[in-house]
Structure 1
Amino acid sequence: MSEGLNYKFLVDTFFVALSGVPIALAVTAVALLIALPLGFLLALTRINRIPILNRFAQIYVSFVRGTPIIIQIFIVYSSVPLLLDSFFTKFNITMNIYDVHPIWYAFIVFSLNTTAVLIEVFRSALGTVDKGQLEAAQSVGLTNPQAFRRIIIPQSLVVALPNICTATVNLIKATSLGYAMSLQEITLKAKVAANVGYNYVEAYIDIFLVYLILCGLVEYAFKLYEKRLRKYKPANA
């Protein structure tokens, strides 16, 4: 048995784990770029009760929130290549789908998962804005897109931002499951380094520290942005 922590390995592997941060941030950024507008639009369909889209959004949110993200990863990572391979074979397309970098599957999984979370975030946030403000904006000649951009969205963002921050932090932490797709992110890099000398305790401490620092910095950035948005907060709120 080990006599104690291997501090040299602990320090060295911290930087190995740190080298996986760009991948984790890339997946997070792409997922948010897709999920933010898509989640907002689907939230509008729920608020306005657009028949087919509203029902689709309800089922979609229930499915994603009701299944573990690791299962979603396994489904996408195993089924999408099989479907595409069958499609390519049928139409004589010469492409080896199994050579596709796993980061593309990560983009799909985490975008779909985060969209479901943000639908509910935006739905609740938009519900806090008085409908009379949209009518008032229309009465002074603003179009709906102008009213949303100048009045509705800034006010709803004030309410939504803490939940968007939570969703972003959870997304960053969820990227640790990318190891299931052989994605060279923080967790996989540290675990591979630990395989040589079975220094798994040190590796997990390094993973813990990297995610703690990364998520702390993201939360701080959101707090700074939240201060800038306070001017849109209603006086009676």
Structure 2
Amino acid sequence: MKLDPSFIWEAFVELLPVIPTSLLITAVSVILGFIIGTAVAFIRIYRVPFLHPVASAYVTFIRGTPMLTHLLIIYFGLPMLIDGLSAQFGWGFRSASIPYINFAFLAFSLTAGGYMSEVVRSGLLTVNRGQIEAAYSVGMTTPQAIRRIVFPQAFAASIPNLTNAVIGMLHASTLAFTVSVVELFAKAQIVASTNWKFFEAYLAAAVIFWGLTVLIERVAVVLEKRMTMYNRGGVA
């Protein structure tokens, strides 16, 4: 087998149009996962009655099972639930009308939420308890203290780990091909299948993933510097 450099470039060009799909899957899962993870982290830190054991079980399940399992459970289980409820209550809605990518959004968001909850929780625990007490002494309420003092510092401390989570979700977006979503990896397979030059197609995909990863790292460095400056009272 000989390497075909010209086909690497050809595959690279054909992969470019599906980059937005991979980025969309990553962005949606990271944003929703961060919201879920933040809520779960606060529930666990403040040991909210009834919700604390549920949140702990959720994190344990997500971290203890493969991401592909979450995707397949959602992909096969959710339609059964929707169609069952629809038949029971006489709804006209059917799961067949749901775009495949929505299953990926939901599954990856739940997965990201489980991992990000630990990232956010570790960041929140780095903030000295005395700062919250100082906020109370000047008349702040708990929500105000969390929003204005605790969360900015916790977010800055969590940026390196959050960056790793974002990169991990970008790479994990390749699993979406198992539910018929054409992202970078699936497109690479389609391109390669035309003449069986899989190595060249996968190499082109690897270059694109590497470039996106470097871009995310650069953005994270800039964001970390600005957050650190803001927390120290500088001009952001």
The TM-score, its normalising length taken from structure 2, stands at 0.93
**Equivalence for 1:12:** 10
Return the match for 2:151 from 136, 141, 153.
153
Distance in 2 between residues matched to 1:8 and 1:91, nearest whole Å: 57
**Equivalence for 1:92:** 90
Q: How far does the alpha carbon of each residue in 1:193-237 deviate from its partner, in whole angstroms, 9 at most, with x for none?
A: 111111111111011111111111011101110011113269xxx
Distance in 2 between residues matched to 1:140 and 1:209, nearest whole Å: 53
Aligned sequence identity (%): 34
Q: How far does the alpha carbon of each residue in 1:42-78 deviate from its partner, in whole angstroms, 9 at most, with x for none?
A: 1111111223211111111110111111111111111
Cα RMSD, aligned residues only = 1.5
Distance in 1 between residues matched to 2:9 and 2:200, nearest whole Å: 9
Q: Which runs of 5+ in 1 are unaligned?
A: none
Distance in 1 between residues matched to 2:164 and 2:213, nearest whole Å: 10
Return the match for 2:186 from 185, 188, 193.
188
Q: Which runs of 5+ in 2 are unaligned?
A: none
**Equivalence for 1:60:** 58
**Equivalence for 1:165:** 163
Residue identity matched to 1:54:
H
Give the secondary structure class of the aligned counterpart of 2:50.
Answer: helix
Distance in 2 between residues matched to 1:5 and 1:38, nearest whole Å: 45
Give the secondary structure class of the aligned counterpart of 2:83.
Answer: helix
Contact 2:26 2:169 in 1 (8 A): yes
Please state how far the C-alpha of 1:135 moved relative to its aligned partner: 1.4
Distance in 2 between residues matched to 1:181 and 1:9, nearest whole Å: 27
Give the secondary structure class of the aligned counterpart of 2:208.
Answer: helix
Distance in 2 between residues matched to 1:133 and 1:53, nearest whole Å: 26
**Equivalence for 1:109:** 107
Question: Given the alignment of the two structures, is residue 129 of structure 1 paired with residue 127 of structure 2, yes or no?
Answer: yes
Contact 2:82 2:94 in 1 (8 A): no
Distance in 2 between residues matched to 1:225 and 1:57, nearest whole Å: 29
Contact 1:65 1:116 in 2 (8 A): yes
Hey, which bits of structure 1, 4+ residues long, moved more than 4 A?
Answer: none
The TM-score, its normalising length taken from structure 1, stands at 0.93
CA separation of 1:96 and 1:47: change in aligned 2, threshold 3 A: closer
Residue identity matched to 2:181:
L
Contact 2:29 2:108 in 1 (8 A): yes
